[in-house]
Amino acid sequence: MRAGIYPAKQKTDPTFAVSNPDGYERKREQCSDNRNPANGSRNAPRDTPSETAAEYVGPKAYSLNSTDMSIKGSSVWAKTVGDLEEDRIAIRSNFCSITYQKNTVMIMPKILIVATGIGAYANAILPTGLWLSELTHIYHRAKGLGCKITIASPKGGEIPVDPESLKPFTLDKMSKAYWNDPEFRELLHHAQSLDEVAGRRFDCVYLAGGHGSMYDFPDNAVLQAILKTHFESGKIVSAICHGVCGLLNVGLSDGQMLVAGKKITGFSWFEETLARRKKVVPFDLEAVLKERGADYRKAWIPMTSKVVVDGTLITGQNPLSSKEMAKVVLNHLTKGRSDEKLTS
């Protein structure tokens, strides 16, 4: 019988894709009659069935079908055993030796964008919220590359938008197009909560800014846990402008603060003066970053673009950094995937 690999839950489809986050083609191989799975080529005795088991996990994906497999010998059967939802597959055969030739399929990165759910300053007079361009630029670039995007806020639901970010001199053409897009606006009306996404894995966590994030980011334990887990797993942790407030109180497993000793930027105190918000913000972000031991950097000219990269930690200074920030984050996110083609 001709070899075939079939999905565990869709046996009529001859093609099956599994992902491999570690970048390895084979995680484990076993051969029941002690032959070398890498080079054993002769048939196993019919009364002594051999099996090769291979498990795959992670950011790469492989499309496997009968034509992609080269199995030496005759009378071969193969089937998948595993749970598709767990991105795991075990391939069994009556041969000890199976050589796989896989077609690489791109599984695009998963990005979690976190925005504020606070729509007013503590004085309850001035409105605030998300600074729109700090979300739209990363969203636009990630969407263009085919990334899987999740938008969340601490409590979920409505993401308020700072009206200052919608004024003609601050609203760029691309952000305006998204603001006028009912489908995009619907995403801002129905953000997921951090509790809903806490158990999921992402390739990048991005904290959008806006003064509202100064209130619901710094002391959010769920956000801190998400950032700690992803940072210690080598994933990209990024934040722009006041979104950097979400990094302030993140502690790591070694007892150090995440920002301690890191090159980092964020909205400067002088920029708060220029924005005429110095008297209403709850704290001085620049000063607190320095108190936490961060190596704070800022642009020579206020309100100009500044992006700082320190390993997998990427930060942007202000709204004018939105476009550059999106470019840098996505470049780092896709860097090293030379064998994978982006969809745009």
Residue 330 CA to residue 334 CA, distance in Å, equals 6
Q: Is the pLDDT of residue 238 over 80?
A: yes
Residue 66 CA to residue 105 CA, distance in Å, equals 16
pTM of the model: 0.70
What's residue 107's pLDDT? 67
The number of angstroms, rounded, from the C-alpha of 256 to the middle of its chain's C-alpha atoms is: 23
Residue 80 CA to residue 92 CA, distance in Å, equals 7
| CATH code that applies to domain 110-334 | 3.40.50.880
pLDDT band at 108 (very low <50, low <70, confident <90, very high): confident
3-state class (DSSP) for residue 315: strand
Distant-in-sequence, close-in-space partners of 204: CB < 8 Å, separation ≥ 6: 109, 110, 111, 112, 235, 236, 237, 238, 329, 333
Q: Largest Cα–Cα distance in the chain?
A: 83
Q: How far is CA 16 from CA 5, 12, 233, in A?
A: 7, 11, 28
The domain segmentation of the chain, as residue ranges, is 16-106, 110-334
Q: What share of the chain is helix, strand, coil (3-state, %, to 5)?
A: 25, 20, 55
Q: Is the pLDDT of residue 92 over 90?
A: no
Distant-in-sequence, close-in-space partners of 311: CB < 8 Å, separation ≥ 6: none
Residue of 293, 311, 302 lying closest to 267 (CA atoms): 302
| pLDDT tens-digit series, residues 39-74 | 443 333 333 333 333 333 333 333 333 333 333 332
Q: Is the pLDDT of residue 198 over 70?
A: yes
Residue 108 CA to residue 106 CA, distance in Å, equals 6
What's residue 124's pLDDT? 84
| pLDDT tens-digit series, residues 126-150 | 999 999 999 999 999 999 998 999 9
Q: Is the pLDDT of residue 337 over 60?
A: no
- CB atoms closer than 10 angstroms to residue 132: 28
Average pLDDT, the chain: 76
Residue of 284, 235, 293 lying closest to 264 (CA atoms): 293
Amino acid 290 reads: K
3-state class (DSSP) for residue 341: coil
Q: Is the pLDDT of residue 182 over 90?
A: yes
